[in-house]
Amino acid sequence: MVTNYPVALSGAAAPTLMWAPEHEIEPAALDQLRNISALPWVHGVRVMPDVHLGKGATVGSVIAMPDAVSPAAVGVDIGCGMAGVKTSLRAEDLPADLRGVRSRIERAVPVGFAAHKEPVDPARVEVPTERWRRLWRSFGDLDRGVQDRESKAGCQLGTLGGGNHFIEVCLDETDAVWIMLHSGSRNIGKELAERHIARARELPHNRDLPDRDLAVFVSGTPEMEAYRHDLFWAQEYARLNRQVMLALVKQALRESFGDREVGFEEPISCHHNYVAEETIDGRTMLVTRKGAIRAGSGDPGLIPGSMGTGSYVVRGLGSERSFYSAAHGAGRRMSRNRAKKTFDSDDLRAQTSGVECRKDTGVLDEIPGAYKDIDSVIGAQSALVEVVARLRQVVCVKG
């Protein structure tokens, strides 16, 4: 068994280091990683322990390119990530029946395809007015194909969505109560990503790639400038989306305790589907993290497990070998379709015992058994992050 990480990926063109044993990664994901490493613009690839098959680029991959970026390697949920905050509450403060807490959160934050009836007032959710205005002032500069989506994007800001997105109330090892949530740039991010991915596929320099889903934009071109503008806008939208949701959940928690004062520490926020300009191996690079968080020295991070297995609060150790990166979560070990065929609602109830959450077939593809073991994922990256706290869910809200 491999215990010393990283290990090099066999057959890779550009240097590709992995924090997972090659024999445990599905062959299709290994093929994706080799295809990524073969792109002529790639400086290097790093592979996190939660690695699994994705569209175009593998989830759990970090790609450094000095003069190019692949929109599919970012993913369609631009800026997807985590937010969390420790509260002054303790386990003994929570009611024995947590259905009321879950209901208040679900009333405060629209889930699934639902949205707010009108945009949230920024003053109500602790967002500086100028930051809010700056985001919406620049909407008119986005791709012209989304110009009729401004109203929808405004009402979706501060909403959860579906799939693997969640809001949780958790307890750490000292029984302190935490709020944690996972979401991204909603439909506006998806539309922007899909438009740019389609545009990249048609560019002449991408015609002979091993996988057209890995089509890139090259620095100094109008297509690259347009993508970077929309990309960074969507990343800001995603971060703001989580900030608004966190404020709404904090309000819901306060309401659950009536007149009692509930305090909150400094929140943690981190993207895990995004691009950043960073220095790698002494050179300025565009670093794409798809299913990976930044783990520079001292960087706070959140690495969630599945809806019944716990999560981690971490601090980055600044590993140059990993391109200052770490895993974004447990990572799937089976597809959504396979999970639905493998498990039933009885399995879901058993695997989420003790967690106040949905236990119907509508979330069966999110069953803990469909995910890798979060403790093993954390163990594999002990040189990348240090554990600050381990959390266990007591409430989980999903769309």
**Does the bond joining 6 to the residue before it have cis omega, within 30 degrees of 0?**
yes
Which residues are catalytic, by number? Answer: 328
Does 222 appear as a known binding residue? no
Which DSSP string do the residues of 213-248 spell out, in sequence order? GG--EETTSHHHHHHHHHHHHHHHHHHHHHHHHHHH
> In whole angstroms, what is the distance from residue 250 CA to residue 101 CA?
11
> In whole angstroms, what is the distance from residue 34 CA to residue 36 CA?
5
Is residue 153 within 8 Å of residue 143, measured between CB atoms? no
> In whole angstroms, what is the distance from residue 163 CA to residue 137 CA?
30
Structure tokens, 46:
């790093």
Phi-psi region of 180 (alpha: psi -120 to 50; beta: other; left: phi over 0): beta
Does 271 appear as a known binding residue? no
Does 229 appear as a known binding residue? no
Query: What pLDDT shows up at residue 233?
Result: 98
Query: What pLDDT shows up at residue 56?
Result: 78
Is residue 326 within 8 Å of residue 292, measured between CB atoms? yes
Does 264 appear as a known binding residue? no
Does 182 appear as a known binding residue? yes
Does 168 appear as a known binding residue? yes
Q: Domains along the chain?
A: 7-333+371-398 (3.90.1860.10)
Query: What pLDDT shows up at residue 308?
Result: 85
Is residue 361 within 8 Å of residue 323, measured between CB atoms? no
16-18 vs 44-52, strand pairing mode:
parallel
Supply φ then ψ for residue 271, to 5 degrees: -75, 155
> In whole angstroms, what is the distance from residue 301 CA to residue 305 CA?
13
pTM of the model: 0.96
> In whole angstroms, what is the distance from residue 85 CA to residue 90 CA?
13
Q: Which amino acid is at 309?
A: T
> In whole angstroms, what is the distance from residue 399 CA to residue 394 CA?
17
Query: What pLDDT shows up at residue 55?
Result: 85
What does the pLDDT profile of the chain (399 residues) look like in tens digits? Answer: 446 899 999 999 999 999 999 999 999 999 999 999 999 999 999 999 999 999 879 999 999 999 999 999 999 999 999 999 999 999 999 999 999 999 999 999 999 999 999 999 998 998 998 999 999 999 999 999 999 999 999 999 999 999 999 999 999 999 999 999 999 999 999 999 999 999 999 999 999 998 889 999 999 999 999 999 999 999 999 999 999 999 999 999 999 988 689 999 999 999 999 999 999 999 999 999 999 999 999 999 999 999 989 999 999 999 999 999 999 999 999 999 999 999 999 999 999 999 999 999 999 999 999 999 999 999 999 999 999 999 999 999 998
Query: What pLDDT shows up at residue 258?
Result: 81
